[in-house]
């Protein structure tokens, strides 16, 4: 999914009627059903209660999914930066940036086996 598509989904969510959306039978309403006067605005009628439940849930979930996806993309970009750094530099020199990796790796440039769980000074040479 492209950034433009995510932006469009986010725009549609922002332009839609505000939450909460609730269901009553096969209809979706906006408003708070705890109001004694039932001041609900009809959003739509559906073909069944299951469709209404999905639409009401999607109003809340879709913006959360977009936000989560953007957070995941930020993490991916960070890892791409670190991967590029590892490819361009000696891995042993990049050790402080890679402490979260769990298994030993062999530096492509100097061929030293580096365990990121140990001090890099204890790395074994080939």
| d(C-alpha 124, C-alpha 92), whole Å | 11
pLDDT of res. 39: 79
Domain that holds residue 114: 95-126
For the chain, the straight-line distance linking the first and the last C-alpha, in angstroms and rounded, comes to 44
The Cα 106–Cα 63 span in angstroms is 42
Q: Are residues 28 and 56 in the same domain?
A: yes
Our count of domains for the chain comes to 2
Average pLDDT over residues 64-83: 85
Provide the pLDDT for residue 116.
44
- How many whole angstroms separate alpha carbon 47 and alpha carbon 50? 8
Does residue 119 sit in the same domain as residue 102? yes
pLDDT of residue 121: 46
Same-domain status, 107 and 61? no
Whether residue 67 sits in one domain with residue 20: yes
Q: Which of 26-30, 84-88, 100-104 has the highest mean pLDDT?
A: 26-30
24 & 84 share domain: yes
Threshold 0.75, pTM exceeds: no
Q: Would the pLDDT of 63 be above 80?
A: yes
């Amino acid at each position: 999914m492209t950034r433009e598509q995510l932006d469009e989904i986010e725009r549609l969510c922002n332009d839609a009627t505000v939450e909460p959306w609730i269901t009553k039978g096969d209809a979706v309403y906006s408003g708070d059903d705890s109001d004694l006067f039932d001041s609900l605005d009809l959003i739509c009628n559906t073909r069944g209660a299951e469709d209404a439940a999905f639409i009401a849930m999607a109003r809340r979930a879709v913006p959360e999914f977009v936000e989560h996806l953007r957070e995941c993309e930020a993490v991916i970009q960070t890892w791409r930066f670190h991967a590029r750094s590892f490819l361009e530099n000696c891995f042993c020199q990049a050790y402080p940036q890679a402490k979260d990796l769990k298994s030993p790796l062999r530096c492509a440039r100097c061929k030293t086996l580096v365990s990121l769980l140990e001090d890099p000074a204890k790395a074994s040479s080939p």
